[in-house]
């Protein structure tokens, strides 16, 4: 297996950090991102204390809740003068209350971070992608209303309720944000097909120890990390991070525009194949990020 340069967002905690460990041990060059420089530095110190070589580790600051931070992060990456062989869009949130980014109130913060900011970061990095590059979006099987679990309400993605003004529920908006991620996956795969860049999405399973719920209540965080960690329907951090490495490096994966669960191609939700609606959601993201030249034509 040849060494790759792999950029993974949200890599100072949970699955991201566990994946960084495995990638570095396998000899890859890794670019990790974090919102808090002190926490990022602490993560690097922890890696070194575990005997993991950080010689091929680079770090950049990235807060997907800030469009300026996203632009600055891309500039930081460009300054490293590294190839972009693999991009893993891992960072995301599950919120316990309705919130907004300082940049926009057109979409609620869950959708801003999980979809809009992630897509913006990816599109700004597009010039660095080359033939053979891979772009992965971490999604969730919960984007499909027919998949059981997750709790909370199931709501449709309504273009006039992306801000939650008509109705909001943390679980529902997490699901909606991941449906939007599926739209981004399929549309970006079409967009980058001629460049021979592989684009895909995968569900890492339910990992209670992830930092996804960092902005949820203390009770919810305790439930996730302690009470559910050993449940039969959960996936261990070790197994899931091994799957991340598989998606990043396996030569078995050759088709673009696919969704994976448990290292196998799977069907995503029926709604996720409605790419006309997907284009409308994409265009809303482009409006927020002022990427008019990347919008789809409207009827």
Q: List the pLDDT tens digit at each of the 299 positions of the chain.
A: 689 999 999 999 999 999 999 999 999 999 999 999 999 999 999 999 999 999 999 999 999 999 999 999 999 999 999 999 999 999 999 999 999 999 999 999 999 999 999 999 999 999 999 999 999 999 999 999 888 765 556 789 999 999 999 999 999 999 999 999 999 999 999 999 999 999 999 999 876 765 555 555 554 544 444 444 444 347 789 999 999 999 999 999 999 999 999 999 999 999 999 999 999 999 999 999 999 999 999 86
Domain contains 107: yes
Using H for helix, E for strand and C for coil, what is the string for 10-21? CCCCHHHHHHHH
Q: Would 299 be classed as within a structural domain?
A: no
For 262, what's the count of Cα atoms within 13 Å in the CB-facing half-sphere? 6
Q: Which domain holds residue 265?
A: 5-294
Q: What residues pair up with 101 in beta bridges, in sequence order?
A: 104
How many domains does the chain contain in total? 1
Token output for 168: 């909001």
CATH number at residue 39: 3.40.50.720
Taking 3-state DSSP, the helix, strand and coil percentages for the chain, each rounded to the nearest 5, stand at 45, 15, 40
């Amino acid at each position: 297996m040849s060494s790759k340069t792999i950029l993974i967002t949200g890599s100072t905690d949970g699955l991201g950090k566990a994946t960084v460990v495995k990638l570095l041990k396998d000899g890859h060059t890794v670019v990790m991102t974090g919102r808090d420089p002190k926490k990022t530095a602490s993560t690097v110190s922890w890696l070194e204390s575990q005997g993991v070589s950080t010689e091929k580790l680079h770090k950049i600051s990235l807060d997907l809740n800030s469009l300026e931070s996203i632009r600055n992060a891309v500039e930081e990456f460009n300054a490293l003068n590294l190839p972009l062989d693999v991009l893993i869009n891992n960072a995301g949130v599950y919120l316990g209350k309705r919130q907004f980014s300082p940049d926009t109130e057109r979409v609620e913060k869950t959708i801003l971070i999980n979809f809009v900011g992630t897509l913006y970061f990816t599109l700004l990095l597009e010039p660095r992608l080359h033939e053979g590059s891979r772009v992965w979006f971490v999604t969730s099987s919960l984007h499909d209303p027919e998949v059981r679990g997750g709790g909370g309400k199931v709501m449709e993605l309504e273009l006039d309720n992306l801000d939650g003004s008509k109705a909001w529920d943390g679980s529902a908006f997490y699901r909606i944000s991941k449906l939007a991620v599926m739209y981004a996956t399929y549309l970006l795969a079409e967009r980058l097909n001629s460049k021979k860049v592989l684009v895909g999405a995968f569900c890492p399973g339910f990992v209670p120890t992830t930092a996804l719920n960092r902005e949820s209540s203390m009770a919810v965080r305790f439930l996730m990390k302690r009470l559910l960690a050993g449940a039969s329907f959960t996936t261990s951090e070790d197994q899931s991070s091994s799957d991340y490495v598989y998606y990043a490096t396996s030569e078995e994966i050759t088709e673009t525009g696919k969704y994976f669960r448990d290292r196998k191609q799977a069907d995503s939700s029926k709604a996720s194949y409605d790419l006309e609606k997907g284009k409308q959601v994409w265009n809303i993201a482009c409006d927020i990020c002022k990427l008019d030249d990347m919008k789809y034509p409207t009827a």
